């Protein structure tokens, strides 16, 4: 058990939300299966996925991340593929698909609640999530785990400058900060570049926009699932008390 009287190893532990605390990517994959039935196209699901990905890549710069942006990309794709034969009813079906995604039940990943419960007394926990403010706030509220976090931040992009600004705002030194997430690109690399600590917990699927193209040359922590986190932190704290310079 972690000793609550000792000084904790980190002043702030932040969690990514989508595909770290709850399932998200699978919602987008399910939407594709519906979309292919709505859009009049001879494409396979894989081909449609690739086409939509190109649209999203352009549109993320205009609309940002999230389901609203994705819905606009689905409509744009339908118009381009369907041409003048596309009917208002088909656009309506896509809008309903997007609204369904926005209202979908939040499915926490295994061990999330028990882990947050175990850590909340000792650590200052926070959510740092990328996306649209209203959408991410609503998901956090519906998740049932909002109460374990002392604060949350919704940002449009997670890069080194974003983390620098956030840590300054919260008065936390990078060396005293641990970020946990499923994306090497957004949750791990920028935090390491800043001099912080980062723990990668991979999800079963990585969204194409979050893939890292170059081989990684930096060392980072990795666990199989979030349920291993309390034990891992305990081990780190024990190492630290034996040798204060190892972390
Ligand atoms: Mg994520």
pLDDT(77) > 60: yes
Which residues 6+ apart lie within 8 Å of 102 measured at CB?
67, 68, 135, 138
Q: Report CA(35)–ligand 1 centroid distance (Å).
A: 23
Cα-to-centroid distance, 183 and ligand 1 (Å) = 6
Residue 197, H or E segment: strand 197-200
CATH class entry, domain 12-22+108-242: alpha beta
pLDDT at residue 245 is higher than 60: no
Q: Cα 111 from chain centroid?
A: 17
Distance CA 175, CA 93 (A): 49
Cα of 209 to ligand 1 centre, how many Å?
11
Residues 6+ apart with CB under 8 A from 205: 19, 25, 26, 29
Calculate how far, in angstroms, residue 122's C-alpha sits from the geometric centre of ligand 1.
24
Per CATH, 12-22+108-242 and 25-102 having the same topology is answered no
pLDDT at position 1: 47
Structural Rg of the chain based on CA atoms: 20
How many Å lie between the centroid of ligand 1 and the Cα of residue 7?
Answer: 29
- What pLDDT, on a 0 to 100 scale, did the predictor assign at position 207? 63
Q: Give the 3-state secondary structure of residue 162.
A: helix
Q: Which residue has the tokens 């980072």?
A: 220
pLDDT tier, 212 (very low <50, low <70, confident <90, very high otherwise): low
Alpha carbon of 169 to those of 122, 162, 166, 172, 232: distances in Å? 21, 11, 5, 8, 28
pLDDT at residue 244, rounded to an integer: 61
Q: How far does residue 38's CA lie from ligand 1's centre (Å)?
A: 28
Q: Say whether pLDDT at 217 is over 90.
A: no
* DSSP bridge pairs for 177: 12
| Percentage of residues in the chain having pLDDT higher than 90 | 81
Residue extents of the structural domains in the chain = 12-22+108-242, 25-102
- Nearest-CA neighbor of 159 among 131, 194, 132? 194
Q: What is the pLDDT of residue 243?
A: 73
pLDDT confidence of 239, banded at 50, 70, 90? Answer: confident
Out of 186-195, 219-228, 234-243, least confident range: 234-243
pLDDT value, residue 31 = 95
Q: DSSP assignment, residue 104?
A: P
CA of 3 to the centre of ligand 1 (A): 30
pLDDT of residue 220: 84
In this predicted model, what pLDDT tens digit does every residue of 108-159 receive, in sequence order?
A: 999 999 999 999 999 999 999 999 999 999 999 999 999 999 999 999 999 9
CA of 96 to the centre of ligand 1 (A): 24
| CATH T-level fold of 25-102 | DNA polymerase; domain 1 (1.10.150)
Q: Which residues surround ligand 1, an ion (CB under 5 A)?
A: 16, 18-19, 182-183
Amino acid 171: pLDDT: 97
Is residue 89 packed enough to be buried (19+ CB in 10 Å), middle (13-18) or exposed (0-12)? exposed
Query: From edge to edge, which strands make up the β-sheet containing 197-200?
Result: 151-155, 125-130, 12-15, 177-181, 197-200, 221-222
Average pLDDT along the chain: 91
């Amino acid at each position: 058990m972690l000793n609550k009287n000792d000084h904790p190893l980190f002043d702030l532990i932040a969690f990514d939300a989508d595909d770290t605390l709850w399932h998200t990517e699978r919602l987008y994959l399910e939407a594709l299966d519906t979309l292919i039935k709505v859009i009049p196209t001879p494409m396979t699901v894989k081909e449609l996925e690739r086409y939509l990905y190109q649209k999203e890549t352009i549109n993320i710069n205009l609309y940002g991340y999230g389901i609203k942006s994705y819905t606009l990309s689905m409509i744009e794709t339908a118009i381009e593929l369907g041409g003048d034969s596309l009917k208002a009813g088909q656009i309506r079906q896509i809008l309903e698909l997007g609204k369904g995604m926005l209202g979908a039940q939040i499915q926490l990943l295994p061990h999330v609640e028990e882990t947050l419960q175990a850590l909340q007394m000792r650590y200052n926990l926070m959510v740092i999530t990328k996306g649209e403010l209203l959408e991410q706030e609503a998901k956090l509220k519906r998740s049932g785990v909002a109460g374990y976090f002392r604060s949350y931040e919704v940002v449009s992009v997670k890069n080194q400058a974003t983390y620098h600004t956030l840590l300054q705002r919260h008065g936390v030194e990078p060396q005293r900060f641990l970020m946990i997430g499923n994306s090497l690109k957004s949750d791990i690399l920028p935090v390491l570049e800043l001099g912080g600590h980062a723990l990668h917990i991979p999800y079963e699927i990585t969204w194409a926009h979050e893939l890292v193209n170059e081989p990684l040359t930096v060392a980072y922590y990795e666990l199989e699932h979030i349920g291993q986190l309390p034990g891992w932190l305990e081990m780190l704290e024990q190492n630290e008390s034996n040798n204060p310079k190892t972390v």
